[in-house]
């Protein structure tokens, strides 16, 4: 547990920033390298103001640049690989998602071998486990049950391939003769301040007279607060550096959730924003089975038009299933092996996220006022 250093990829993103904020408080951490393709000026300012003795180095580089990755990994003890394209709506081309999420992970693993980085922690996703059907009910899924996504959609497929590559790399020999040890964390749907998807949902509602559009009325999920997911990464880095704990963790994956109540995505959005005066859409819902067949038809239209026109359906079967299934997990394995307990309670998470949503509402009012002047 003597002096060590850590590289975090995707460090300028929603989760990456929170990991950096917690990491710099760790004992004996000499340097954090924050890697992203580009940092927003606001993020650079946030990192420069961190109250820490740890050196924070911001690196702007491409996850597909093998030479850059080798340089970034030099003299690093732990890599936390967060960088990924998260797209469940199919907007991003499949090739781009597979390139960043799979090839980027493979290149980073190779860079770690060349630079003799002994610990690699991967941010995976519950999407690699499911849900596979809106008719199937999965509650409190455990790691030993081996749930696996059967979707060919690029996001779950890419995360599944990348996770397998990371766990397979556990035990491989490093250039200096040492051994690499890996693990993967599978958080459920991550909410909290700065979530881009949550931001779009709230901004859409603010433009719609405060009515939240239904995105998952039929679901039961156990969302997790971003601060708790970041905390799980810190605990994984501690455990893999601890010779007593490490043997149980090496090559393992862990579900990450917290005490956020199991609820539909619609109810989550409402519970986070009701203090701001937002309300749920009370209009009648189209039956889920009918929506599923409509999604199938839209996918067929998209496929048939592909040679002459790139038609992107507003939703597909994967997104519909993801948003409207009963699929929850338990984090007991992480509690036992990593010593994981949520750092933030549901009430704290709700309050912090609600305050951020209030700031979005104030910005929206300011924009409307400017337009009417």
Q: What is the per-residue pLDDT across 261-284, written as a single tens digit (0 to 9) for each?
A: 999 999 999 999 999 999 999 888
Reported confidence tier of residue 205, pLDDT bands at 50, 70, 90: very high
Q: What is the pLDDT of residues 94-145, one digit of tens each?
A: 999 999 999 999 999 999 999 999 999 999 999 999 999 999 999 999 999 9
* Model pLDDT, residue 310: 86
List residues with catalytic annotation: 159
Q: Which residues are CB-neighbours of 192 under 8 A, at least 6 positions away?
A: 14, 18, 198, 225, 226, 227, 349, 352, 353, 356
* pLDDT tens per residue, range 64-86: 999 999 999 999 999 999 999 99
pLDDT band, very low/low/confident/very high, at 368 (cuts 50, 70, 90): low
Residues 6+ apart with CB under 8 A from 55: 30, 31, 32
Where is pLDDT greater, at 223 or 369? 223
pLDDT at 364 over 80: yes
> Does pLDDT of 207 surpass 70?
yes
- The pTM for the full model equals 0.95
Question: Does the structure show a pLDDT above 90 at 21?
Answer: yes
Tens-place pLDDT, residues 25-49: 999 999 999 999 999 999 999 999 9
What does the pLDDT read at residue 215?
86
- How does the average pLDDT of the chain come out, rounded? 95
Residue 238 main-chain phi, psi, to 5 deg: -65, -45
pLDDT attached to residue 30: 96
8 Å CB contact between 130 and 146: no
Per-residue model confidence (pLDDT) at position 38 = 95
- Dist CA 39 CA 15 (whole Å): 14
H or E element at residue 95: helix 94-98
Helix axes 14-23, 226-241, angle to 10 degrees: 50
Q: In sequence order, which residues have a C-beta less than 8 Å from that of residue 7 and are 6 or more positions away?
A: 32, 33, 35, 72, 73, 76, 78, 79, 80, 117
Confidence of residue 372 (pLDDT cuts 50, 70, 90): low
User: Which tens digits make up the pLDDT trace of 306-354?
Assistant: 899 988 899 999 999 999 999 999 999 999 999 999 999 999 999 999 9
Quote the DSSP letter at residue 103. I
Query: Which domains can be identified in the chain, with CATH numbers?
Result: 4-194+222-268+328-345 (3.40.50.720)
Contact 232, 340 (CB under 8 A): yes
At 370, the pLDDT band (50, 70, 90 cuts) reads: low
CA end-to-end distance (rounded Å), the chain: 60
What is the dihedral sign for C-alpha 95, 100, 101, 102? positive
pLDDT of residue 104: 98
């Amino acid at each position: 547990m003597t002096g060590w250093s850590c590289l975090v990829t995707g460090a300028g993103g929603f989760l990456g920033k929170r990991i950096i904020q917690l990491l710099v408080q760790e004992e004996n951490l000499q340097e954090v390298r924050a890697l992203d393709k580009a940092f927003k000026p606001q993020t650079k300012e946030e990192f420069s103001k961190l109250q820490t003795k740890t050196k924070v180095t911001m690196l702007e580089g491409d996850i597909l640049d093998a030479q850059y990755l080798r340089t970034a990994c030099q003299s690093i003890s732990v890599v936390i690989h967060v960088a990924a394209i998260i797209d469940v709506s199919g907007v991003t081309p499949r090739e781009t998602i597979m390139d960043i999420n799979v090839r980027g992970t493979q290149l980073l693993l190779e860079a770690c071998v060349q630079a003799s980085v002994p610990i690699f922690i991967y941010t995976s996703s519950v999407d690699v486990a499911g849900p596979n059907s809106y008719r199937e009910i999965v509650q409190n899924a455990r790691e030993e049950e081996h749930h696996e996504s059967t979707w060919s959609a690029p996001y779950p497929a890419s995360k599944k391939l990348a996770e397998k590559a990371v766990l397979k790399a556990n035990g491989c020999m490093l250039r200096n003769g040492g051994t690499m040890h890996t693990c993967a964390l599978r958080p459920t749907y991550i909410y909290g301040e700065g979530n881009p998807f949550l931001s779009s949902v709230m901004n859409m509602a603010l433009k719609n007279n405060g009515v939240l559009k239904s995105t998952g009325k039929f679901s039961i999920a156990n969302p997790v607060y971003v601060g708790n997911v970041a905390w799980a990464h810190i605990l994984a880095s501690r455990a893999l550096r601890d010779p007593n704990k490490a043997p149980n963790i090496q090559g393992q994956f862990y579900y990450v959730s917290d005490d956020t109540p199991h609820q539909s995505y619609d109810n989550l959005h409402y519970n986070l924003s009701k203090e701001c005066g937002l309300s749920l859409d009370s209009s009648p819902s189209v039956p889920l089975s009918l929506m599923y067949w409509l999604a199938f038809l839209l996918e067929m239209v998209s496929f048939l038009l592909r040679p002459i026109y790139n038609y992107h359906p507003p939703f597909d079967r994967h997104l519909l299933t993801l948003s409207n299934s009963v699929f929850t997990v338990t984090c007991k394995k992480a509690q036992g092996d990593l010593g994981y307990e949520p750092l933030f309670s549901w009430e704290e998470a709700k309050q912090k996220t609600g305050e951020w949503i209030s700031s979005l509402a104030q910005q929206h009012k300011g924009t409307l006022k400017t337009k009417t002047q």
